[in-house]
Amino acid sequence: MMEKILEVKNLKISFRTSGGTVKAVRDISFDLEKGKTVAIVGESGSGKSVTSKAIMGILAGNSIVEGGEILYDGRDLLKISEEEMCKIRGDRISMIFQDPLSSLNPIVKIGNQLTEAMLLKNAGNRKKAKKEFDSVLALLKENCTAAENDSAAVTASVETFEKFNAEAIQMENSYNTALAAADGLQVDMDEFLFLVEKKQKIDPKAKLKEFAAVLKSIKDPFLTRDAESELQAIADKLQQVLSVCPKNTEAGLPDAVTAVLDQLKTCLETVTTRTRPDFFCIGFYKLQKPEADLSKLTVEALNAEAAQYLDEHFMKDFLTMADKGAEHSYRTALEKKNAVMADLQEAYDFFKEGKYDKKTAMEKCKAITEKVEASIDPLEIVKDSTVYTFRTSLEGALQKYFQAVVRNPKEEERYAKQTRRREALIARGRTVDWKVVPKTVYDLDELQAEITTVIQRLMERYKEYIANTGNVDFRVRSTALVEYFKGKASQMVYVVTKKMAREKAIELLEEVGIPEPHIRYYQYPFEFSGGMRQRIVIAIALAADPEILICDEPTTALDVTIQAQILELINRLKEERNLSVIFITHDLGVVANMADEIAVMYAGKIVEYGTAEDVFYDPRHPYTWALLSSMPDLETTEKLDAIPGTPPNMIYPPEGDAFAARNKYALKIDFERQPPQFAVSDTHWAATWLLHPDAPKVEPPKIITDRIARMNKAGGSNA
Amino acid sequence: MSMNEQNEVLLRVENLCQYFKMGRKVNKAVDNISFDIKKGEVFGLVGESGCGKTTTGRSIIKIYDITSGSIYFKGQRICAGTKSYQDAIQAARKELAELQKNGGDPARKAELEAQIEENRRELQRAKFDHQYSDREYARQLTEAVHTEYKAKLEAAKNSPRETAELKKKYKEELRVAKKTRLITKIQMIFQDPIASLNPRMTVREIISEGLVINGIRDQKYIDEKVYEILEMVGLVREHAGRYPHEFSGGQRQRIGIARSVIMKPDLLIADEPISALDVSIQAQVINLMNDLRDKLGLTILFIAHDLSVVKYFSDRIGVMYFGKMVELATSDELFAHPLHPYTKSLLSAIPLPDPRAEKNRTRITYNALAAHDYSTDLPSMREITPGHFVYCNNAEEQQYKKELGL
């Protein structure tokens, strides 16, 4: 089973407009697994963009989130504050917009737009990482002490851990600074040579002096190693060739200068492409053996030796200790979970009964959430969304319920009053040119049921936990903890200077396939063609190394060849970075190559959901049929099956299947009742009454059956 | 449709060049392309954005003044550019000046002078045709009206009431004939249905605008015409009084189509009419255009970048790349035997609704500089098999022929 990275549950969103509330998204749920792509397909106005905007937390001001949850990393994105959302948006979840022209700032250079986010996110992350590192380590210490009863040993162990980590961080800091300087020098040099080649007017003397100064400043025992003397020699040579250097470069550079620059280039190449030292291990090695000469070994050998040394002298004991600590924390949490089950049951009954006023309910809610939060295992690295979001979910559900309790009568009153007035006017023979705004009354039973489901869901989750007690591997947990510390430590030293950001931005531009990135970096958006602009937007989206990428019709404004390139680019980046992608489009042809799973949306609901194979080779919902048959492929000669009519007005969503009015296969029941989700296979379901066992058998349109037969034949011959 | 009619050329584009000045640089948006459109066919023009397909369409309908080349519509030259003649004159003058300096061959001198004279005459003719082709057409029409009514008036000489009525009609028709322009027989559907409709005009005003400009004043006749067209494109009479913003995207595009069809055009230029529409609406518009084509016998120049749609809709297809026409063939032939590497790359990029095929798809990349060596052997448009033209040089022609097994 894959790790679910994002879960959308029962999402309902509407918009307040002058004509009434438009129900844009009506109860949709889907999961996004790590490294997979979910495509959302539908006409404009079907609510696909609204879904993506809800995930990003950028819904328009007149939107109302009527219900549902978007769970990510133990948080409900719909309920967290804007400050918290700001840390996730763009950093962890990134978005590519439809129109590349309007999503770039026209008066800011491409380079600045690319590096902006990197520099902004930088400072906050370091402080946060430090804080998290310390708090988790303190927790571990506490738990270990409790488990071992040997506080002195634990304290000593943790202290060593802290000490050598500090050492490692110091070394890494110096290494990073030197590396940044070297990388920056490389970029500068490339740019310089490029400008010389283009016969631009620059002062080469000043440049060479600058290079020499930077070279002298690059000093780090791990980075330069054996190349240190060489670098110094080159710096000296640079000073020497200054005398033969011309005042401007219109005639090119003399051979002596080019030779030195070439030498510098190869030297920098070897330096910057070296394996990165494993500072975590080396820190310990150095702490224990301060006399050891680290410069003799190659980096690989040093890494290996340090890792082995750390493993033998420290990590073994530390892991055994951490195992115990993790187990202790787990057991305590489990006990609390066991204890809280009864409370949960009681709360469940209490809320099920339905006889409570706001004050008692809120008190009850506070009591139960405190208990539940105490039962969370703090040393669990992979956060369980259901448990972590319990408080926000329960509080949200309760608040909505009590709001409805207050608002419903008011709404009824208003409606009755307006209707009376209207009728009175009509009775007096006046022409009435206004309508009564329809009443929006919430179903109290439904809202109450929501409260209980929140509790029920947690109870089920806890039951699973308790049943699963026997097969928990604590070694996995403790190694995960160590990895966590390592990650946080490297985040602490991760300083992004302007130069580093520029270098990374140029790398990114290269990665997304923009030629001559050094020049492009300093250009404005209008100097790029449509396809190039979209590449820049993708580069900006990737700048912060997100986990989730949302693509909202990224290729609709582009033509076929560029579209194919952009799709290939997104696919490649997804593979390389293990991204999870939500891909939104109205073109099914585009989706075939991209998606692992496809959700077909119509009028704010998902009408069919399945893997790409399911949806393309075995479509079940008439809307999917209509979408597939309304686009010609290369073999199509017969008249196209256009979908008649237009999508329904979502201020008054139709009862039953929303697509029924435009559907020639519609049954009578389609106009009366909302079809449930009928499962076709484990991965495939569709919401249409045609799948009901009692429904008459209906064949998909000929254009589709023909195409599927043809595709199967072609696929068979390929395989 | 008879064989004869099918082969009648409605529009001929000859060596069309359309350059735009960009500061000191010149942007060759369309560079020396030639093609015919036969009566009753749909001619597709495909290529990536910026390759000049829209510019070609706009040049034909005289939104731009073309730089050089000629466009013939119904045998009449409607557009003509002067740059090729100017260049020829300039080159001849330069040579002449050199000859005069060095005292060269007098026979050659006379030849050059004759050349200059010839080109100058051509240039004048081109200028005249470009400016007055419409007037010529109007003159023909008025003449036809004159002769028609002369006969009629002669026949009704004895009844004064009939004569008066005829005279009134005569006057009316004469005015319309004088105002009719040949170019109105070419109409255009624009890409963006929102931007191409005036938001301050009702649908009736938008659709009937062409008729009004043409000099028709009979409001009743105009209304009837508008209703008829509205029904033809799948809208209803009541829509005539509304404003464009009250319609959905597909309906707006139908209004755009109605506006162009009401002029009874012979040639319809459809400039990406479906690119801005939703998938389900796209099919509606394609079906509508197909119906109209059958009903009205339209000839269509269909400009699009969606190859599946172009394949479905067109009889012949021209592929453009950076202002040049690189391949021209019937649509079946083009998709069965693409020859030019750019066409191959274009075809390999079409997204298909078939995950298995998509996973195995290899996109062919096209790099104009790497694919061709035109340093010595210069390329031109050549016919490889009957009706299949490719832009290539001698070596490539041999290679393409080998590819087809000729």
Q: Locate B340 and state its tokens.
A: 């030019």
Token code pair at residue A25:
């998204």
Task: Check whether B3 has a pLDDT greater than 50.
Answer: no
The length of chain B in residues reads: 406
Domains identified in chain A and CATH numbers: 4-107+524-597 (3.40.50.300), 603-718 (3.40.50.300)
CA distance A152 to chain B (A): 60
| B307 contacts A560? CB cut-off 8 A | yes
CATH domain B182-303 topology: Rossmann fold (3.40.50)
- Residues A714, B354: C-beta atoms closer than 8 Å: yes
* Residue A627 to residue B280, Cβ atoms within 8 A: yes
In one-letter notation, the amino acid at residue A179 is L
| Chain B environment of A559 (Cβ under 8 Å) | 48-49, 305
Residue of B nearest to A614 (CA): B355
Structure-token match 């490692």, residue found: A168
Highest mean pLDDT among A23-32, A527-536, A537-546: A23-32
Percent of chain B with pLDDT strictly greater than 70: 99
Cβ distance of B312 and A639 shorter than 8 Å: no
Q: Does A584 touch chain B (CB under 8 A)?
A: no
- Which of chain A's residues have a Cβ under 8 Å away from the Cβ of B314? none
Q: What is the pLDDT of residue B187?
A: 93
Decide: pTM greater than 0.80.
no
3-class secondary structure, A281: helix
Residue B191 pLDDT: 82
Cα of B324 to nearest chain A Cα, Å? 17
Is A632 close to B308, i.e. CB distance below 8 A?
yes
What does DSSP say about strands A597-602 and A605-611: parallel, antiparallel, or unpaired?
Answer: antiparallel
For residue A66, pLDDT beyond 70: yes
Query: What's the per-residue H, E or C state across A318-359?
Result: HHHHHHHHHHHHHHHHHHHHHHHHHHHHHHHHHHHHCCCCHH
Residues of B in contact with A561 (CB under 8 A): 48, 345-346, 349, 366
Region A195-205: mean pLDDT is: 78
Q: List pLDDT tens digits, range A100-152.
A: 778 888 899 999 998 887 887 776 677 788 888 888 888 888 888 887 767 78
Please judge whether A627 and B279 are an interchain contact, meaning their C-beta atoms are less than 8 angstroms apart.
yes
Kindly list the residues of chain B whose beta carbon comes within 8 Å of any beta carbon in chain A: 48-50, 248, 250, 278-280, 282-284, 286-287, 290, 305-309, 311-312, 335, 345-346, 348-361, 363, 366
- Residues B328-366 have pLDDT tens digits of 999 999 999 999 999 998 888 888 888 888 888 788 888
Model pLDDT for residues A23-56, shown as the tens digit of each residue: 899 989 999 998 899 999 988 778 888 999 999 9
The answer to whether A709 contacts chain B (CB < 8 Å) is no
Burial group, residue A302, by CB count within 10 angstroms (0-12, 13-18, 19+) = buried
Between helices A474-493 and A151-197, what is the axis angle to 10°?
Answer: 50
Q: What is the pLDDT of residues A293-316, one digit of tens each?
A: 777 777 788 888 888 888 888 888
A586 contacts on B by Cβ (under 8 Å): 278-279
- Residue A89 DSSP one-character state: B
Which of A48-52, A542-546, A571-575, B147-151 is least confident?
Answer: A542-546
Strand partners, A597: A38, A611
| Domain limits, chain B | 182-303
> At a CB cut-off of 8 Å and minimum separation 6, what does B291 contact?
none
Residues B6-16 pLDDT 10s: 578 999 999 99
* Contact yes or no for A661/A677 (Cβ under 8 A): no
Q: Which residues are registered as beta bridge partners of A96? A: A551
* Res B310 pLDDT > 50: yes
- What's phi and psi for B145, nearest 5 deg? -65, -45
Show the tokens assigned to B16.
């069309």
Task: Provide Rg for chain A, Cα atoms.
Answer: 31
Q: Work out the average pLDDT over B374-383.
A: 87
Residue A615 sits at φ, ψ, to 5 deg, of -70, -35
Q: For chain B, how big is the Rg over CA atoms in Å?
A: 25
pLDDT of A718 above 60? no
- Interchain pair B49, A593: CB under 8 A: no
Phi-psi label, residue A12: left if phi above 0, alpha if psi -120 to 50, beta otherwise: beta
Four-CA torsion A118, A121, A127, A130, nearest 10 degrees: -70
φ/ψ (deg, to 5) at A639: -65, 140
Nearest CA in chain A to B311: A634
CB B44 within 8 A of CB B310: yes
pLDDT score of B77 more than 70:
yes
Q: Which of A558, A562, A631 sits opposite B279 (nearest CB)?
A: A631
Contact A45, A650 (CB under 8 A): yes
Contact between A96 and A538 (Cβ < 8 Å): yes
pLDDT, average across residues B251-271? 91
**Average pLDDT value over all residues in chain A:** 84
Residue A575: name the closest of B53, B233, B359 by CA: B359
DSSP string, A600-660: EEETTEEEEEEEHHHHHHS--SHHHHHHHHTS--TT--SPP-PPPS-PPPTTSPPSS-TTG
Q: Are B55 and B16 a contacting pair, CB within 8 Å?
A: no
Helices A702-718 and A622-629, interaxial angle, to 10°?
Answer: 80
A548-552: average pLDDT: 92
Residue A240 burial by Cβ neighbours in a 10 Å radius (0-12, 13-18, 19+): exposed
pLDDT at residue number B6: 54
Q: Please answer yes or no on whether B345 and A561 come within 8 Å at the CB atom.
A: yes
